[in-house]
Each structure stands twice: as C-alpha cells, then as structure tokens.
Chains A and B, each alone.
Chain A
Amino acid sequence: MRTFLVVILLVAMFSPVTAFAKDFGKGVSLSEETAISSILDTPADYVGKKVKVSGLIIDVCSKRGCWIYLAGDRDFEKIRIKVTDGEIVFPMEARGKVATVEGVVESMVLTREEVIKRRKHHAEEKGVAFDPATVTSGETVLRIRGLGASIDGV
C-alpha cells in the first residue's frame, strides 16, 4: 500500500499537464462571425463593438500567453488579440491551430515613442534584434481586446 501511494504521488508530481481547456476566458457566445478583412477595411464600423472572428494562430506571446496574432481571411493580413495578463493564457502549442475569438475592437493612436517602446518590448519577448531607427512615425494600431476564445486541438 505504501509503495502504491508513493508511485501515485510520483506519477502525479511528474506527469505533464496536457489537458489545456479548449475554451479560454468567457468562451465564445456570439452567433455572427465577422471577417478580419472587414474590420481592417472599415475599422470605424467596429471600434468599441464586440465581434467574433476566427483564423489561424500565427504567433503567441511566449512569456505570458497574453496575446496572439490571428491570420486574416486575405493573404498578408493579421490582427492582434490582446487579453488581460493571467485572465486568459494562450499556450505556445496553439501556434498553427485555428481559433475563434470574441472581443471588443480597439483602436489606439500611438506616438513614435510609444511605437518604439511597444516594438522593443515585442522584440525582447521574441528574443530578436530591434532597431528604433526603423520607426519613423507614430501609428494607429487596431486590435481586439479578447474576452473569450475557443481553440481547436490544444
């Protein structure tokens, strides 16, 4: 009995946790899906509104799992989904999987300094080099404040 308990304890301690939930945060409840291309084409129609989008996860915040990039429905397009740290944590294994995300569209007007700070932070997270001289002006960033998500196959 004692040996059995020790074995169970050791297995429980060293077994990897693989069962990440398929649903994250508040999940997904909206019935109508919005194309990412529509949001990118006419952001004014969507800013402040809750939308449901889906797409391929092409990047995940490796440190905190606090953002993902979803590929758009057209080539070369993507949108960033930012979630509150700790509230939703996207696993790195989600890269290459299809996600359906629900959240509020946000538009942020950033100064050049803010863009540099933001890109520097992202570069540090990814462990790649960043040259501030590549940023010549401020920009408007469109993103979705993620409230819930559902990811296939994680």
Chain B
Amino acid sequence: MQTKYRILLPLISLAVLLAATFWMQPRTMSYFGVNLLFNLAVPIALATIAQMMIIMVNDIDLGMGAFVSLVACVVATFLQDTPVLGTIMLIGLILSYAAMGALIHRLELPAIVVTLGMSFVWGGLALFILPSPGGASPGWLRALMTSKPPLMPMAVVAAILFSIVTHLLIMRSGIGTVLRGVGGNTRAVQRAGWSVIWLKALAYGLAGLFAVLAGMALVGLTTSADANIALRYTLLSIAGVILGGGEFIGGKVSPTGAVIGALTLTLASSFLNFMRLNPDWQIGAQGAILILVLTARLLFAKREART
C-alpha cells in the first residue's frame, strides 16, 4: 500500500502540471511540443537517479552538480577528440565515485562533507580541462539526443526506459533489495553476511555511472560544455528525489518517482514561462511549486508521519 502511495502523488502532480500546461498552451500537445517541454529533463532525470542511489544508502551528495559538469567537460573534449582516452577517463570517474563511497564507509566520514570537498575537486578538474566554455559534442551522442523515435518523443522514451531499468535494478532485483537494506538497517545487512563496504561502493559506483550518463546526455543536448554547466543539478537532483516520494533516511526511495520528480521540476519552469510571469518571480514560483507539491504529500503520508 505504502509503496503505491509513494508513486501516486508524484504521478498526480506531474499530470496536473502537464494538464495545466496543455490548457494554457494547447500547441504543446504535440510530438514536437512535448519534446521541447521535456528535452532538458533527460540529463536532470539521470542526475536525479544518481542522487537517489546515494540517498538510498542514507547519504547525500552535495557534489553531484560539479561532477556532472566535469563529466560534461570530459565528454566535450576527450571523448570527442580521443574516444578511447575519453572512455577510460569516464570509467575512471565512475570508479573514483565507488572509491569515495568505500572511503566514506571505511573511515565513517560524514558523506555531506566528503561530497562537498569532492565538489571542489571535480570543479577544479573541470576548470583544468576546459578553462573557458567550449568543446564539441561527439556526433553519435548528438544524433542520439536529437533522434526522433516513432510514436513518442525521445525524452519520453528515455524517461520510460530509465524508470523501467532502474525499477528492475533497485526495486525488483536481489542486489537492489540489499542496497535499500543498507539504508534501512545497515547492521542487519552486515549481520546477514554482506560486506557493507562493497555495497556502499556499489551504490556510489551506480551513482557515478548515472551521473556520467547525465553529463553525456547534457552535452548531447547543448553541444558544448563549461565547468559550471550543471552546478544547479546538485539541488535539482535532491529536490527531484524528494518530489518523487523518496525520503532522506531509511532506504525509502522510488526510481520511477525520481524520474517523475525530475520531469515535474523541468515542466514547472516551462509552465512558468507560459504563464508569462514576471521573470523576477520565476525562481520563486518554482520554489512555491516545490513547496506546494511537498505539502500535498503530507495529506497522503499522514499515517506514516505519525509513527
């Protein structure tokens, strides 16, 4: 029952927002319109999934935006010019994320601080690679991100694909259940004979993998990169996870919800554009929508909150 509620509310908020957008701007109700609305949601959805992997094991990643920016810089330079070296670097970045998870667990460090410190490192490396905005998107990536699949726009196909894959991985598979168990009760998982350090490394590694995919998708859309391109993803991804029904502790996350949360956040800014709101209030209205959706969650989660 509870899992059902968790996914119900994000779905409703997205549906309401989408209906409002269609009502205000009927022309968006087309293949092309929907693609425009959700195009930029693809990298945000991937970053949100990455953040969810970290929140799943009771940690929080304040360096996500800087990391995605770094990936974008690597993709726009090395992956474009020397694909082999670029691929090796991206794999190295994923492994370093896994190592960070292992380190955080082994030395019992606060994740909020380590990821914060690492955000400086990622940001510095990104500046090193790309001191000024530039680079170019590899052709195949550009082609993939601008492809026009039949029936549904690319962004929608991607969103459905991500949520199915991560749902199977996190909610249905054995290892996914154990990973959520780390967030729920680390000691119980340890007593059951699992190596928590490997599980944490796996969770962080998965986060790194999805963050790398986010950076690639971003470059595919923007065709160039700079060191600050995705800094706002840190807060967006956290908001997306929570909007999607996830919770900060207890391994209570929902991959599908996270994807929907990311879509809702992206749609909110388009919606505000259509409202012809004074630009001064755009950001504020986004905050207000966030608060509104989270308040609605209260009505659903009242029973849970009491316990």
Do A and B share a complex?
Answer: no
Residues of B within 8 A of A (CB): none
Residues of A within 8 A of B (CB): none
